[in-house]
Amino acid sequence: MSAPGDLPEALAHRFGIAVAELVDRTAIAVVWRVELATGGTAGLKVFHHEGLSNEGPGLAWMRAMNGAGVVRLLDQEGPAVLMEWQAGPSLGDLTRKGEDKRAARELLSVAQCLHAGADRGAGLVLPSLESWFRALREVTFSPDCPADAAGNMLAARDIAARLLSEPQDVRSLHGDLHHDNIRDGARGWLAFDAKGVRGERAYELANAFRNPKGAEALVADPARIAYLADLWSEGFGVERSRLLDWAAAKCALSICWRAKGAVAADAEFGLLRRMLELSRDRGAGGGQRGGRCPPSRQASTPPGVFPEQ
């Protein structure tokens, strides 16, 4: 680890940081693993934008969850957030080393925990899925976009419109639940980096079909998509066909977001086509709704983990 001087001095003082190690620097934030002067390890994430216009809803949602299935937020000063540290691997790491089915089961367990019992984020002001899907609703195409890809995008647009017109079981959602946003640690597998959105419960698993990065061939395998649809629809208690519809709609939405304008070419055109093909195969519905949070992911604080703030 490096000296805390690598952090802005004001932050090291504010959070009582004795030692800091730079872990990651992304387009939206810088992340340090820190040792506190009072003892213990935490993560410090400093967002680049003071206003937290995009990150604020996710932080509010994580705070409302109070450690149930998610890392705890320990303290915050403006764009700097001190949080519980997860030292273990991500579920994405499991998939990339050949343990995808184990990762799928653990991801389901985390999702069940997040949605166990009453909606903890019911009182929060969160963006809606309707607002998120505006980009797909207004999709346009460049002249060189392949005709079949454009047709699939429009099919996904129509699916999203149908889902959004008749939502089922609306509640607050993590909004970006996938393999690399779940890590192992002292309290087991916990989610982080929530977006915070209000919408249909089945959407919670939609983005996980597209992940993790670094396993693109596996992600695009129809057998894997079908396996996840079977496992997650049964364990999460949602209709299999509806879950696949949300997965296809989210894939198309991500394509729109990346395009930042007219859609031309995208690496996920093939994945979208496969999702649409499977979604049109109306399989059996899901089983009983999952809802019990495993003991290792309950909000109680075991010894050596930061208490509630």
Place of tokens 């977001």: 257
Percent of the chain with pLDDT over 70: 89
pLDDT of residue 298: 53
Residue type, 221: D
pLDDT at 89 over 60: yes
d(CA 70, CA 64): 10
Displacement of CA 150 from its chain's centroid (Å)? 27
pLDDT at 300 over 80: no
Contact yes or no for 268/210 (Cβ under 8 A):
yes
**What is the mean pLDDT of the segment spanning 46-73?**
91
| Mean confidence (pLDDT) of the chain | 91
pLDDT of residue 292: 63
pLDDT of residue 51: 66
CA–CA distances in Å: residue 15 to residues 6, 41, 67:
14, 12, 20
**What is the mean pLDDT of the segment spanning 294-307?**
43
pLDDT at 299 over 90: no
pLDDT of residue 50: 72
Among 5-14, 172-181, 209-218, whose mean pLDDT is lowest? 5-14
Domains within the chain, CATH numbers bracketed: 4-85 (3.30.200.20), 91-296 (3.90.1200.10)
**Residue 302 pLDDT class (50, 70, 90 cuts):** very low
Among 28-32, 179-183, 259-263, whose mean pLDDT is lowest? 28-32
Contact yes or no for 299/114 (Cβ under 8 A):
no
pLDDT of residue 209: 98
pLDDT at 260 over 90: yes
**What is the mean pLDDT of the segment spanning 27-32?**
92
**What is the mean pLDDT of the segment spanning 59-68?**
97
**Residue 181 pLDDT class (50, 70, 90 cuts):** very high
Among 70-74, 121-125, 134-138, 302-306, whose mean pLDDT is lowest? 302-306
pLDDT at 306 over 70: no
d(CA 265, CA 148): 12
**What is the mean pLDDT of the segment spanning 202-229?**
98
**Position with higher pLDDT, 260 vs 53:** 260
**Position with higher pLDDT, 218 vs 280:** 218
